[in-house]
């Protein structure tokens, strides 16, 4: 008998759940690959087995006939607190316009409750679109209360959240960062649950001064705390020179993730590869906003032997979902490859749909220190699982499971989402959300921050 939602949500220690009859299981595990007509067994919060005709025994059985099972997507970098400002500047012209309007103009008007509402909205939207892990690059931590609110929002949604903490670029703040990271680690991240902590920084001092630029001081803070580092605004020659310097000072390694990496020099790419540092691309951000060269650095990363993760970045001007990121990168890279070979007789080197799905899952997880936890449907990993309807109007008939996930799907096709074995979306709806109340809270928060910053005339 097919398990009910009430049964799945009832807390039962050691419960096993069998997802059976899938049209395909796209594991993203290099050894398991894609399994047609297969099952997936969840034991508590972990994947116990993936295979054909798995025995049910005492498990709750969920019939997923006609669906594709896939690992949850990993968003390696999003400024979640900005979610109330979605598409407020859809045609933003460059980084300077974004920094001036959002970080210098609107961000100082945020109260702790606004941090909570924006971060919660972003995380719920992520779950709805199949993102089970989200790194929140939280760079508006004006007080300890602002940080606590952002962390609480991640916890309340049930997403696998990474709180990457950074102080504001501009405006008044309490001066608590980075010292407050010790308190955060010892209070909010002590139980080893779904949330992890990282230090967030910028590559250089061009945007907001030297205090936010990564270097020996911030590297020492992160290493003393035993946490990873995510570095944003990695662009062009200044960042290239910084990267080479970090490598020489032993400040790079697998615990460091570099975001964007647009317009870097060959020397910088060699330093990233030689030190084992990670890269998180933001395909639509680079192309749409026009960051440095405006071309996502996928070819440069692959040439250096680096398989990057993917990220959403800023919802003030961009889409909120991973499907858009995968498709944008897939299209841009293939276009550039053919264009470069056009008229030469050379064969273009193109990435495929499996590549971008790998970037959106396994590589994204590895890049933020969670590669052993999530990113693939591998036995022993946490059960972060998507149940995707492959026979919906926009997907039928199912011919290629990976192609369908990358090129056919959107949030409406995601029937269910499990995070660490717990159901977070079911029958196409995110659970534990009163949309009417949330809508009122989001609008009130948006109106408050726009009034406080003098941008109220942009409200619709």
Encoding tokens for residue 57? 């025994």
Exposed/middle/buried for 65, CB within 10 Å: 0-12, 13-18, 19+? exposed
pTM here is 0.97
Is residue 399 domain-resident?
A: yes
- Provide the CATH number for the domain around residue 59: 2.30.40.10
Of 66, 80, 73, the residue nearest 425 (C-alpha): 73
Same domain, yes or no: 51 and 192: no
Determine, yes or no, domain membership for 340: no
Q: Is residue 163 part of a domain?
A: yes
One domain for residues 152 and 241: yes
Question: Please, are residues 143 and 112 in contact by the beta-carbon 8 Å criterion?
Answer: yes
Extract the tokens encoding 107: 């961000």
- Say whether both 61 and 77 belong to one domain: no
Q: What is the pLDDT of residue 458?
A: 53
**pLDDT confidence of residue 38:** 97
- For 47-52, the CB contacts below 8 A with 24+ separation are 47/377, 47/378, 47/379, 47/380, 47/381, 47/382, 47/383, 47/385, 48/16, 48/379, 49/379, 50/25, 50/377, 50/378, 50/379
User: In Å, how far are 63, 287, 297, 381, 450 from 283, measured between CA atoms?
Assistant: 36, 6, 8, 28, 28
Alpha-carbon span 201 to 185, nearest angstrom: 17
Domain span at residue 217 reads 73-320
Residues in the chain, how many?
Answer: 460
Q: Could you tell me the sign of the dihedral formed by the alpha carbons of 51, 56, 58, 60, in that order?
A: positive
Please indicate, yes or no, if residue 100 is contained in any of the structural domains.
yes
Indicate whether 225 and 78 sit together in one domain.
Answer: yes
* Residue 79 shares a structural domain with residue 35: no
The alpha helices in 76-233, defined as continuous H runs, are: 95-98, 112-128, 144-157, 180-187, 216-225
Residue 349 included in any domain = no
Token pair in block for residue 20 = 């059976």
How far are the Cα atoms of 24, 68, 137, 281, 372 from residue 77, in angstroms, in the given order?
Answer: 29, 26, 6, 9, 19
Supply 293's token pair.
Answer: 């060269």
Give the total number of structural domains in the chain: 2
Q: Based on the domain organization, do 215 and 307 belong to the same domain?
A: yes
60: in domain: yes
Q: What is the pLDDT of residue 1?
A: 54
- pLDDT of res. 460: 46
Rounded to 5°, angle at Cα 198 from 197 and 203: 165
Looking at residue 74, what is its pLDDT? 98
Distances (CA, A) of 457 to 179, 200, 242, 448, 453: 38, 32, 40, 12, 11
- Looking at the fold, whether 178 and 230 belong to one and the same domain comes out as yes
Whether 119 maps to a domain, the answer reads yes
Same domain, 98 and 47: no
User: Can you spell out the DSSP letters for 26-94?
Assistant: E---TTT-EEEEEEEEEETTEEEEEESS---TTSEEEE-TTEEEEEPEEEEEE-GGGGGGTTSSTT--S
Query: Quick one: 33 and 61 in the same domain?
Result: yes
On whether both 314 and 169 belong to a single domain, the answer is yes
Whether 221 and 314 share a structural domain: yes
The answer to whether 385 and 72 have CB atoms below 8 angstroms apart is yes
- pLDDT (tens digit, 0 to 9) for every residue of the chain, 460 residues total? 588 888 899 888 888 999 999 999 999 999 999 999 999 999 999 999 999 999 988 899 999 999 999 999 999 999 999 999 999 999 999 999 999 999 999 999 999 999 999 999 999 999 999 999 999 999 999 999 999 999 999 999 999 999 999 999 999 999 999 999 999 999 988 777 999 999 999 999 987 788 999 999 999 999 999 999 999 999 999 999 999 999 999 999 999 999 999 999 999 999 999 999 999 999 999 999 999 999 999 999 999 999 999 999 999 999 999 999 999 999 999 999 999 999 998 999 999 999 999 999 999 999 999 999 999 999 999 999 999 999 999 999 999 999 999 999 999 999 999 999 999 999 999 999 999 999 999 999 999 999 998 886 554 4
Q: Encoding tokens for residue 69? A: 């099972």
Q: Residue 31, Cβ neighbours under 10 Å: how many? A: 7
**Lookup: tokens for 34:** 């894609």
The string of pLDDT tens digits covering residues 90-118 is 999 999 999 999 999 999 999 999 999 99
pLDDT of the residue at 269: 98
Domain boundary among 284, 302, 320: 320
CATH of the domain at 163: 3.20.20.140
Task: Report the C-alpha gap between 69 and 18 in whole angstroms.
Answer: 12
Q: Are 137 and 77 in contact (CB under 8 A)?
A: yes
Residues 67 and 78 placed together within one structural domain of the fold: no
Burial class (CB in 10 A: 0-12, 13-18, 19+), 293: middle
Rg from Cα positions in the chain:
21
Residue 326 is inside which H or E element, if any? helix 322-341
Does residue 326 lie in a domain region?
Answer: no
């Amino acid at each position: 008998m097919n398990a009910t939602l009430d049964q799945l949500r009832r807390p039962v220690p050691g419960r096993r759940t069998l997802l059976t009859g899938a049209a395909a299981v796209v594991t993203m595990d290099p050894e398991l690959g894609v399994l047609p007509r297969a099952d997936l067994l969840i034991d508590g919060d972990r994947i116990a087995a993936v295979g054909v005709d798995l025995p049910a025994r005492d498990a709750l059985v969920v019939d997923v006939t006609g669906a594709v099972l896939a690992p949850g997507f990993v968003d390696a970098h999003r400024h979640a607190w900005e979610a109330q400002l979605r598409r407020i500047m859809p045609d933003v012209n460059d980084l300077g316009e974004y920094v001036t309007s959002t970080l210098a103009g609107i961000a100082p008007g945020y109260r702790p409750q606004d941090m909570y509402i924006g971060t919660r909205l972003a995380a719920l939207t992520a779950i709805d679109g199949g993102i089970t892990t989200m790194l929140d690059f939280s760079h508006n931590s004006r007080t300890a209360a602002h940080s606590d609110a952002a962390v609480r929002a991640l916890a309340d949604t049930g997403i696998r959240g990474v709180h990457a903490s950074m102080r504001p670029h501009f405006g008044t703040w309490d001066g608590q960062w980075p010292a407050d990271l010790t308190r955060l680690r010892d209070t909010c991240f002590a139980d080893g649950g779904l949330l992890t902590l990282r230090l967030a920084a910028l590559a250089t001092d061009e945007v907001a001064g030297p205090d936010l630029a990564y270097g020996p001081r911030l590297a020492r803070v992160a290493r003393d705390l035993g946490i990873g580092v995510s570095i944003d605004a990695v662009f062009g020659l200044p960042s290239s020179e910084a990267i080479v310097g970090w490598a020489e000072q032993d400040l790079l390694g697998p615990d460091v993730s570099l975001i964007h990496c647009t317009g870097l020099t060959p020397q910088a790419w060699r330093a990233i590869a030689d030190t084992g540092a990670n890269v998180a691309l933001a395909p639509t951000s680079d192309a749409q906003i026009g960051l440095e060269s405006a071309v996502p650095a996928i070819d440069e990363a692959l040439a250096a032997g680096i398989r990057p993760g993917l990220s959403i970045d800023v919802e003030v001007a961009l889409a909120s979902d991973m499907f858009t990121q995968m498709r944008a990168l897939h299209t841009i890279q293939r276009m550039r490859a053919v264009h470069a070979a056009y008229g030469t007789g050379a064969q273009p080197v193109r990435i495929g749909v499996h590549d971008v799905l790998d970037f959106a899952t396994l590589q994204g997880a590895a890049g933020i220190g969670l590669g052993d936890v999530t990113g693939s449907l591998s036995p022993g990993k946490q059960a972060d699982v998507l149940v995707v309807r492959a026979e919906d109007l926009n997907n039928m008939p199912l011919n290629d499971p990976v192609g369908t996930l990358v090129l056919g799907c959107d949030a409406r096709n995601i029937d269910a989402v499990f995070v660490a074995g717990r159901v977070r979306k079911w029958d196409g709806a995110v659970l534990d959300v009163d949309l009417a109340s949330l809508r009122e809270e989001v609008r009130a928060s948006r109106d408050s921050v726009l009034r406080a910053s003098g941008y109220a005339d942009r409200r619709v």
